[in-house]
Chains A and B, each alone.
Chain A
Amino acid sequence: MDWGDWLSNSQNILFVVIALLMVAAAVRVVTSPNVVHAALMLVLALGGSAALFLMLGAEFVAWALVLVYIGAVIVLFLFGIMITRAPTGRDPVRLDHERRWPAALVALATFATLASASVAAFEDEAIEGGVSSTGDLGDVLFSRFVIPFEAVSFVLLAALIGGIVLARKDPG
């Protein structure tokens, strides 16, 4: 394929910028010596993926991701970090294992397998743009996918009860 041609598309330039940002942030998530910094870098990575969803026309999912993931899940992480232990600067406790190389090797192998498989399978197939409507998403969610939807809501309820049970101080 022609890379010059590919890069002349403004959407692809945007993609490259977002992708570089996401990868850099993701690398900091797994290497940062400070827990809070790692969580903040995850915010950047997730923000990037919300931007990608907007590019792919998935408006509702993008804003839901910002609302749920960035707005609640990571805040919960920060909360968890702060009520356990939150030193500023470099964490005095070692956060990583000694043996990084085997892990890096596994990660590299995973990437090589996934990437080569997907490139081999999809080569130059292009994505047609187009925004999908939130109304349609709601329609399928409550018709075709209503049983998985209910199952997921049941999982959430179970998690809610589990969280309360775990957090209770008094036994029983």
Chain B
Amino acid sequence: MTSFLEGLFANTFWSAAIKVVAAFALLVANTLILVWFERRVVAFMQNRIGPNRAGPFGILQTLADGLKLFFKEQITPRKVELGIYLMAPMAAMVPAFLIFLVIPFGAPITIGETTVTLQGTDLNVGLLFILAMSSLAVYSIVLAGWSSGSKYPLLGGVRATAQMISYEAAMGLAIVPVVVLAAVTLGEGGVGAMSLARIVELQQGSFRWLIPGWFVFWLLPSFLIFFVSAVAETNRAPFDLVEAESEIVGGYHTEYSGIRFALFFLAEYVNMFNVSAIAVTLFLGGWLGPDLGLPSGLAWVMPIFWFFLKTYALLFVFVWLRATLPRLRYDQLMSFGWKVMIPLSIGWLVLFSVVMALNTFGWPFDVPEWFPWA
């Protein structure tokens, strides 16, 4: 058995194919759990019970809903622009799945002689790839809105464009300090500072005493800006103006039904998982964590466990926000993005870069002992 697996993963083609299929299955299965998780948590926060009939604790509820949507009639309104209307739900899925391929979700596993990384592929410019792909996500929403040929989806699409472009800027700027810190820690001209596997490795060691060396302790402002922009970028409450039921019916997916609607829904949850996973990878040490002295045959489980635990902790915050905060008004959303988030992230970037430059080239005065960035 081991030698068979080893042979399989030694072959580049099969190794890549297995990883892609595994990532796909993982994301879909994870969405099933995530939707259930969200409904249960919101229900408990609102003093309700939530789905509890299908399967143990209602965990199969999403599966049932998905099957129902799959067999429902797909209504196609007469005025749609058919080609683009059909393409938009698929365009929502593709970037969502591609992003996950560069995220390392576990420590490399050694099978015999072969080392298998638990990551689709480790791009040199992985971070740039993530930003590029997340910037493609807006297309599906805009095109769905436009091609539906109806006013509410169009309004949703226009809102989505402005919102996602604005918060993408803040998100990109929040990531830059991570690259700076990784480059400075790496030395040697900072080669590899945008590779996610390297960034996770750099977070080994400790910050102070028993606190782990996760980047969040150096870059707390970046983490907060990143997380808030990520909530806006995935169109989640309180920034879900793109699909605000009370104002524009369902926004961009008003005219979609059946499996096409389910694809948008799936993409939204995959995106939510992705941004949490990215936040965990960049700021919370990725899959790093104590291995609790498990035998070597089982030790590979622990990194995966830590990765999912941290990611679900962030996803819990997503759900918590949804259950707690009312939706913003559109002008509040835009002025928050442009007048608070972007200036904050630029200011923090400049400040952090100056501190890092002083670390490299020498301070003009003595740095106090407690200063953590020195």
Contacts and interface: CB of A to CB of B under 8 A. Distances in A.
Contacts of B165: 72, 75-76, 79
A83 B162 CA distance: 11
Given A82-B146, A83-B158, A86-B154, A59 B190 contact: no
Interface string A59-74: 1100110110011100
B118 to A, nearest CB: 23
Contacts of B162: 79
Given A75-B142, A88-B146, A88-B147, A67 B161 contact: no
Contacts, number: 78
A134 B158 CA distance: 35
B191 A135 contact: yes
A86 to B, nearest CB: 6
Interface in B184-199: 189-191, 194
B161 A71 contact: no
Given A63-B125, A86-B154, A134 B194 contact: yes
A42 interface: no
B56 to A, nearest CB: 42
Interface in B99-156: 124-125, 128-129, 131-132, 135-136, 138-139, 142-143, 146-147, 149, 154
Given A83-B158, A135-B190, A70 B128 contact: no
Interface string B288-324: 0000000000000000000000000000000000000
Nearest to A70: B136
Interface string A101-140: 0000000000000000000000000000000011100110
Interface string A76-95: 10110011001011000000
B80 interface: yes
A36 interface: yes
A126 B295 CA distance: 55
B139 A75 contact: yes
A18 interface: no
B222 to A, nearest CB: 19
A134 B125 contact: yes
A75 B161 contact: yes
Nearest to B135: A71
A40 interface: yes
A82 B153 CA distance: 12
B125 A59 contact: yes
Nearest to A131: B124
A63 B189 contact: no
B81 interface: yes
Contact of B131 (A67, A78, A79, A83): A67
B70 to A, nearest CB: 27
Contacts of B81: 36, 88-89
Contacts of A63: 125, 128-129, 132
Given A60-B128, A82-B157, A70 B191 contact: no
Contacts of B149: 88
Query: Across chains A and B, which 7 residue pairs bring their CB atoms closest together, nearest first?
Result: A71-B135, A66-B132, A88-B81, A67-B132, A63-B128, A79-B161, A88-B149
Interface of A: 36, 40, 43, 59-60, 63-64, 66-67, 70-72, 75-76, 78-79, 82-83, 86, 88-89, 133-135, 138-139
Interface of B: 79-81, 84, 124-125, 128-129, 131-132, 135-136, 138-139, 142-143, 146-147, 149, 154, 157-158, 161-162, 164-165, 168, 189-191, 194
Given A71-B138, A75-B164, 8 more contacts: A63-B128, A71-B135, A76-B165, A82-B157, A82-B158, A88-B146, A134-B194, A138-B190
